[in-house]
Amino acid sequence: MKRTAISLADGRELIYFDERDDAVRDQPDRRPLPPPPPASQLRHDPLTDEWVALAVHRQTRTFLPPADQCPLCPSTADRLSEIPAPEYAVAVFENRFPALSERVVAEPAAITPFTAARPGQGRCEVVCFTDDHDASFAGLPPSRVRTVLDALADRTTALGELPGVEQVFCFENRGVEIGVTLHHPHGQIYAYPFVTPRTRSLLGAARRHAERTGGGNLYADVLAAERAAGERVVATNQHWTAYVPAAARWPFEVHLAPHRVVPDIPALTDPERDAFGPLYLDLLRRFDGLFDSPMPYIAAWHQAPVRVERELGHLHLQLFSVRRAADKLKYLAGSESAMGVFINDIAPERAAELLRAV
């Protein structure tokens, strides 16, 4: 893999990850762009001990443009995009409308004596999986999945070294039902200046399990139990297992986890990285085959925090959909949104059975 970094017209970084060593990436960005927006503001909710980002500039971000105006397609002589090159394999660049940014202008004052505020310091990046606007991740070859995984490993390492970054989150949103604003196949990476609420909850449970068991890894133990039970396992190979969690929150939810305990994507070996693609592609195609239509989904990489309690983590990919039937969606209504108590309409065992049958 060849890695080439350039600067876009407004100073943001773009990195090409090429599968050819002879790729030349010297095309300049010729757009007349305004400066990037300053960092957002984070406000601390004292009632939940959580940080909320206020990124008002994102209200004007690009929203579902037609294919001939897609900012993630390669540039042409007639239309300039975020990618200056006429073609590419995988490209990663700083989001033009970031929720978090390194461009800190000032330290905000506290909102009230109970509500602290701080700059939304961090970084948000866009990961373009292919230059084919009409493709999908499920249609990529395993070799391209490996390139994407190597790019995520590169960015996880680089972003984790930025001052103040505590957690790196890689994910893909697919489908307008999820809230996607660009149809071109892409994912995102958030570098947070704090450990997220979901990860704090996972770490707390893992910490308590380690104390009870004299050092056991909770996720590894749960994975071993699921592999032994087999009822909720969808697919497996030498290095990875895909299974529906016994307490799945979403109608169709699968965890794809390496058998070896590793904290993050950079820690995966070459054989583990090679084995990931075929199994993940199989899983995505099963999702699409459930209702014979493209499945809306979120694919979320759970990685250990950058600096704290890394020994408690166990890398895994959480893949889930809001679709519960061909013509029905799962909405986060009163119980889920207000109380955080999920109510699932499909038994995990049934979901696993349906996915295996595709």
Catalytic positions, written as ranges: 186
Diameter over CA atoms, the chain: 64
Q: Cα angle vertex 188, ends 186, 194, to 5°?
A: 170
What is the torsional sign of CA 144, 248, 336, 251?
positive
Give the start-end residues of each E strand in 159-222.
167-174, 186-192
What is the torsional sign of CA 338, 339, 340, 344?
negative
What is the torsional sign of CA 98, 102, 104, 107?
positive
Q: Give CA 57 to chain center in angstroms.
A: 22
Residue with tokens 């017209």: 9
Exposed / middle / buried, residue 199 (Cβ in 10 Å: 0-12, 13-18, 19+) = buried
Task: Answer yes or no: are the C-beta atoms of 301 and 268 closer than 8 Å.
Answer: no
Q: Considering only CA atoms, which of 89, 121, 96 is closest in space to residue 108?
A: 121
The DSSP bridge partners found for residue 329 are 323
Exposed / middle / buried, residue 341 (Cβ in 10 Å: 0-12, 13-18, 19+) = exposed
Task: Answer yes or no: are the C-beta atoms of 126 and 72 closer than 8 Å.
Answer: yes
Q: Which residues contact 40 (CB under 8 A, 6 or more apart)?
A: 53, 54, 55, 56, 57, 98, 99, 100, 101, 119, 120
Helix, strand, coil percentages (3-state) for the chain, rounded to 5, are 30, 25, 45
Distance CA 9, CA 27 (A): 11
